[in-house]
Chain A
Amino acid sequence: ETGVTQTPRHLVMGMTNKKSLKCEQHLGHNAMYWYKQSAKKPLELMFVYNFKEQTENNSVPSRFSPECPNSSHLFLHLHTLQPEDSALYLCASSQDKGRGGETQYFGPGTRLLVL
């Protein structure tokens, strides 16, 4: 257990569906992240939040919409996704953002399949 939980663990959705991924961290951290992990590819950073404010959007398509209501919770709202969006979506947290050497702690991920 890393102190970061994600739900659901698995999700199958059609291209016209709307769904949300949830991440919660119990570590008292201030920074939270969404990553996409596709097979045989590096983790791709999607969004970064620090103290509830979005500090990074890594050119992510608008069909992915993040929400950070407080420092412990992070959501990723999904709508009109494409089959190529099928991947493992990982959430992570760290004490802060913008200081060197901050270890990121990852959740187990949501395995998403878009049909």
Chain B
Amino acid sequence: GQNIDQPTEMTATEGAIVQINCTYQTSGFNGLFWYQQHAGEAPTFLSYNVLDGLEEKGRFSSFLSRSKGYSYLLLKELQMKDSASYLCAVEDGDYKLSFGAGTTVTVRA
């Protein structure tokens, strides 16, 4: 099966920056997604990368290196509402999405 690794938990202070890393090994690659999931709610789409490089969307940026099987999600100017689980998901050669276990980010005042 596919192998997707991300840290279990991260803690940061309001206003700070946090970087969530994701490494993957999949058979084929059709892109990498990041989702945000607040406790008890639906995962919501944050970003999609299929080419190497950085995609910026406001306070959130996502980076991809296909040769290294590596991505990160960068959260800047952290706010309390950013406390959530962040899911890394890779679309393989069969267009099937495989998820990591998620990184729980806690933002402290």
Contact = CB atoms under 8 A, between A and B. Distances in A.
Contacts of A108: 40-42
B97 interface: yes
Contact of A109 (B33, B42, B50, B102): B42
B99 interface: yes
A100 B30 contact: yes
B100 A2 contact: no
Interface in B1-56: 4, 8, 30-31, 33, 35, 40-45, 48, 50
Interface string B77-98: 0000000000101010001111
Interface residues of B, number: 25
B50 A101 contact: yes
B96 A101 contact: no
Contact of A101 (B41, B91, B99, B102): B91
A105 B45 contact: yes
Contacts of B50: 100-101
A99 B97 CA distance: 12
Contacts of B8: 40
A43 interface: yes
A42 B4 contact: yes
- Which residue of A4, A43, A97 has the most chain B CB atoms within 10 A of its CB atom? A43
A49 interface: no
5 contacts: A40-B8, A45-B98, A97-B95, A100-B30, A106-B42
